[in-house]
A and B are shown apart, each in its own frame.
Chain A
């Protein structure tokens, strides 16, 4: 077999020149070699897997461990709940990662991590050795924090991990009689996708306004106020959904009664026809297999230059599972950006070079306030070497001035491009 140096010699200057033009020959002085195992095929993990292969010119081996057969996107899933998209519109195959990028796919789950020996154990496929491990597990729910919720997620869906739960909540909404109550609960921040619950409230209200106008949406928020795009959502609630949607801040959920779909709050009980409880969240359980304390018992602390977990060597963590840098949201967009920081750093490290000392990440979250009008929030975060973290750039980023149709077009385009960026 030819290694890359031989290949270059044989192929001669013409090929080398061509590669330089396409940027492939600039992968540092010596190409990276090694095996990277990526756990979790969401916005972070899938992006990392693709970019590791693409940027190393297929020089490193990548195995992606994912428990689901297909990727189902949380962004755009509120449109499915409102009836404006189908499940198939938010579902993407992993096949291109394998067929185009040579990523080895394992449909499996991690049962143990031995960071000292650089290996993990899988439920079905035995042990895997790695040179670098990437965990991109997203969030897990702290179901026990809400009394009576355990074991009742079919009656009281969260739909906060896209997939069967999304379809289930849509079915319940469709089956709800006109004049019914759709109650949703938002946990105390931090949670995955800060604008997401408010977008969901809009999508549900939009559907009810059109099809079941005597119904109500009750938004029970444990927080004191709307957590993202506050003025824009307030405007939508008060104009588009006046009389249908009621926003109730400072309402922390204590327990639920699944039989009667009742939410027990501090001061009152709310009986609903559809009860959508988004439970409190923490880093995906697999992070508890690392021998490090989580911040607030919930989130992983990382070195932002490499995304390496503090206190464990050669294990990198991405996405919603992280204790974020200042103002950094838990979003799919951000996980995709962090994945690229990690991929670049890992390829440098495997080639014996220091990581890029000046990485940048940026975020955008588009939210639908009605099926045709969208608002965004954006930010750019530059690495600050004196503080060892990413800091938002002052004077950059911001919000849409108002909900508008042009950004509905761009939001759809964003979804297409980011899904392709991770999976095509």
Chain B
């Protein structure tokens, strides 16, 4: 019985988390309004395209903790999960 429930839960969890193959792309597109389509900025906001994943993630963590002061990025970075930021950072790192 316990096994069955576990299995069910697992299956449900797997269905609930059937991740869209374009999830990273979609999440990264929420940053484009300020950082440009695919992370290529044409204004004073920095481009994110082609930046190393670790660097992007480190900055986002520093914004979150407040270690790096920001006008807005702390408020934005706090709205995404670690897993989402990871996907976003990978996506931008892969742009040229």
Contact = CB atoms under 8 A, between A and B. Distances in A.
A356 B71 contact: no
Given A360-B80, A393-B79, A348 B91 contact: no
A410 B35 CA distance: 10
A412 B41 CA distance: 12
Nearest to A344: B26
A23 interface: yes
Given A364-B72, A404-B71, A416-B42, A359 B26 contact: yes
Contacts of B42: 416-417, 420, 424
Interface in B16-45: 16, 18-23, 25-27, 29-30, 32-37, 41-45
Contacts of A404: 71
A355 B23 CA distance: 10
A417 B36 contact: yes
B41 A356 contact: no
B54 interface: no
B78 interface: yes
Interface residues of A, number: 54
A112 B1 CA distance: 58
Interface in B26-70: 26-27, 29-30, 32-37, 41-45
B78 A393 contact: yes
Given A333-B33, A364-B33, A417-B33, A407 B45 contact: no
Interface string A335-363: 01100110010001000001111111110
A412 B76 contact: no
Given A364-B72, A400-B71, A417-B45, A379 B79 contact: yes
A22 interface: yes
A83 B15 CA distance: 55
A406 B42 CA distance: 17
B56 to A, nearest CB: 16
Contacts, number: 131
Contacts of B25: 23, 26, 55, 344
A51 B19 CA distance: 20
B26 A340 contact: yes
Given A376-B71, A397-B75, A344 B32 contact: no
A207 B76 CA distance: 33
Nearest to A28: B21
Interface string A389-411: 00001011110100010110110
Interface of A: 21-23, 26-28, 51, 54-55, 333, 336-337, 340-341, 344, 348, 354-362, 364, 376, 378-382, 385, 393, 395-398, 400, 404, 406-407, 409-410, 412-418, 420-421, 424
Given A356-B23, A357-B20, A396-B79, 5 more contacts: A55-B22, A360-B27, A381-B79, A396-B80, A417-B42
Interface of B: 16, 18-23, 25-27, 29-30, 32-37, 41-45, 71-72, 75-76, 78-80, 84, 91, 94-96
24 contacts: A21-B94, A22-B95, A23-B91, A26-B22, A27-B21, A336-B33, A337-B33, A340-B30, A344-B22, A348-B20, A356-B23, A356-B26, A357-B20, A359-B26, A362-B30, A378-B72, A378-B76, A380-B80, A382-B79, A393-B78, A396-B79, A410-B44, A410-B71, A414-B34
